[in-house]
Amino acid sequence: MAGKNSSRQPAQPDPGADPKSKDLEQFRLRPDGEALRTNQGVKIADNQNTLRAGPRGPSLLEDFIMREKITHFDHERIPERIVHARGSAAHGVFQVYESMSEYTKAAFLQDPSEQTPVYVRFSTVQGPRGSADTVRDVRGFAVKFYTQEGNYDLVGNNMPVFFIQDAIKFPDFVHAVKPEAPNEMPTGGSAHDTFWDFVSLVPESAHMVLWTMSDRAIPRSLRTMEGFGIHTFRFVNAAGKARFVKFHWRPVLGSYSLLWDEAQKLAGKDPDFHRRDLWEAIERGDFPEFELGVQIVEEQDEHKFDFDLLDPTKLIPEEIVPVKIIGKLTLNRNPDNFFAETEQVAFHPGHVVPGIDFSNDPLLQGRLFSYTDTQISRLGGPNFHEIPINRPVCPFQNNQRDAMHRQAINVGQASYEPNSLSGGWPKETDPAASDGGFESYQERVEGVKIRVRSESFADHFSQAALFYQSMSEPEKAHIAAAYQFELGKVTKPEIRERVVNEILANFDAGLAAEVAEGLGLPAPKRGKTAVDASKIKPSPALSLLNRVKPGIKTCKIALLAAPGSDGATLKALQKALQAEGAAPLLVAPTLAAIDGLQPDATIAGMPSIMFDAVIVCGGEAGAKTLAQSGDARHFVLEAFKHLKAIAALGAGREVLKASHLPDNAEGVATGDDKQMTQVLKAFIAAAGQHRAWARQALAESVPA
């Protein structure tokens, strides 16, 4: 679903030509050939022993080397983000496909030959820095564009809507979803009383909670995860004409999710699964790509929808306003230092450039205050923009001075404007000039000061019904199971009942009944404000299964083998899979060489949940070893249960037989060694669909 422009390929990104890379060079400290020194530049002769009064005497306070080292260590940690604490990031470039001058004067959206450096941070929301990657949660998707007009931050999530409509409720929501105050549990999850108590009492959250219970909350990887700007923004062109705009990021590989069982197991087997996948893909040259799409609405059409454009709990169905694909983001360079870059990068939805402006979305308005306030506390003061990763690549000058951690050395007498002592500089730029400064869109606003919610924000269930009815049957089953799991962790019966009877029953009676049955609750009655399902027209674009793009490019394929497997066959498989753009890894019971080939991992160290598909290799001795191995049988059983493509060559079929798996099920390809070409062709076709959904009923009986 990449859009009609997806075939347009910008020039191959060149990290060496990245202005931000050059900008950071002066801050990189490379250890090669350098002596160990103190922070003041003094060479250190002994870094192993504290200065003492005699070999067994007390340490001396005059040991300035030890004191500096320990003092710095004691202060190395900074406060973690309140939300989005756990993140991973990468450098890259953005390139527009064609000039967007008709819609916006933003300079980075004008020239298709120009590459704009970016830094992109993905994150979970609820958990602390030490939580797992694959928990059920919203994911942050924040992009910092280092443009020639200044930094522009597109701060979003992997879901297009949010839990609340007004920023004044944000502290309440975060307090509710965070670990509970008495015991600081649970870590990284929403399956607890305070979260469900809050959302059951705040019906505006129904739509977003449904998204969070869907497969969107457990993405397969950060590379195959969609992103959304959430809010309605404005494009403003050079003539001053404004249009409303919604932002979308579309992964070029397509969008995929984990199964819940996979996500739970990965949290224990490899809590860094998502960040490792991102890092390794970039290191091997499989650069993640995302296309930027926009939904553009003319100002005169603001009120033509049956929902309010300013309501952040609502989306615009693509069938009503298509997504126009306008450019591509390519992540091509990993950070040099996690703390200096990923941990210290500061995003803010208020960092905009001329040509992009805000709407009156009441949640967005509050975020414009909150982000700066948070960064000042977290990064030690108002000079966080001078941290290398946050520095613009364009020249910047103003009269803001002093404060903690100031790095710039401002020259001259005048630190005010207007002035005559510095020739009047720096001074504002005429917004009418070709390189003019930022000017807020001149929207006419009038009204009485009042604390009230617009009536146009009052419908909380129609879009929840739209989302649920747009899901495929597997996705609907996953949603019901997610509600049952989460609410099963809630200890207060009245909260469970309120969610079922006052939230779910208001947008889908079938879902409410299924969840109620799983929780042992009476069948719910139709809610007082229930949506008329017959009036809901599904939006196929909302289903992840419609985002599948056939192919195995960048897929991780396990070649399951053991000593006695045929090395020539393994090499042929590796070559064929690499030709398709996949990443085949040799997995064996031990790291002992197999016919001259060194395994990449052991079965215990890299289980099937870390792979997209599995090939069980032939060779009688190797297959016999695998068939007798409980770990190997579990490996293929688990892959079968998770609906992954499986192939078995020659004697490798005995491993399926020993695991009591059918060799003719959907997504399973088998044959003798002479049939490798045909088997591989069928396997690649099955793996390219990413899941064999047709065998789901059969897979549920697999004991893995």
DSSP secondary-structure letter at 321?
Answer: S
DSSP character string of 356-390: EEE---HHHHHHHHHHHHHHHHHTTSGGGGGSGGG
Residue 660: φ, ψ to 5°: 60, 40
280 in Cβ contact with 248 (< 8 Å): no
Q: Which residues pair with 247 in a beta bridge?
A: 294
List all residues 6 or more positions away from 12 whose beta carbon is below 8 Å from its beta carbon: none
Question: Which one, of 576, 608, 570, lies nearest residue 699 by Cα?
Answer: 608
Measured distance CA(257)–CA(212) in Å, rounded: 12
Q: Which whole-number Å values give the CA distances from 192 to 179, 390, 443, in the listed order? A: 8, 37, 43
Question: Distance between the two ends of the chain, CA-based, in angstroms?
Answer: 33
Neighbours of 404 (CB within 10 A): 11
Which amino acid is located at 635 in the chain?
A: F
Angle of helix 567-579 versus helix 676-687 axis, rounded to 10:
40
* Residue 65, helix vs strand vs coil: helix
* Paired tokens of 467: 């989302």
* Residue 421, helix vs strand vs coil: coil
Which of the following is catalytic: 151, 157, 390, 501? 157
124 in Cβ contact with 271 (< 8 Å): no
Exposure string over 32-43, b if 16+ CB within 10 A, otherwise e:
eeeeeeeeeeee
Measured distance CA(498)–CA(516) in Å, rounded: 11
Measured distance CA(367)–CA(309) in Å, rounded: 17
User: Which residue, chain included where needed, has tokens 């298509």?
Assistant: 322
The whole-angstrom distance between residue 116's C-alpha and the CA centroid of its chain comes to: 21
Query: Strand pairing of 116-124 and 139-147?
Result: antiparallel
User: Which residue, chain included where needed, has tokens 């679903």?
Assistant: 1
Measured distance CA(160)–CA(142) in Å, rounded: 13
533 in Cβ contact with 514 (< 8 Å): no
Angle of helix 260-269 versus helix 473-488 axis, rounded to 10:
50
620 in Cβ contact with 608 (< 8 Å): no
Which of the following is catalytic: 5, 49, 72, 84? 84
- Indicate if 419 belongs to the active site: no
Measured distance CA(384)–CA(87) in Å, rounded: 19
* Paired tokens of 287: 């650069």
Measured distance CA(100)–CA(249) in Å, rounded: 17
Q: Which residues pair with 234 in a beta bridge?
A: 244, 357
Which uninterrupted H or E stretch holds 242?
strand 242-251
- Indicate if 84 belongs to the active site: yes
Q: Which whole-number Å values give the CA distances from 75 to 39, 68, 71, 647, in the listed order? A: 14, 11, 7, 53
* Paired tokens of 30: 């490379």
Q: Show which residues are catalytic.
A: 84, 157
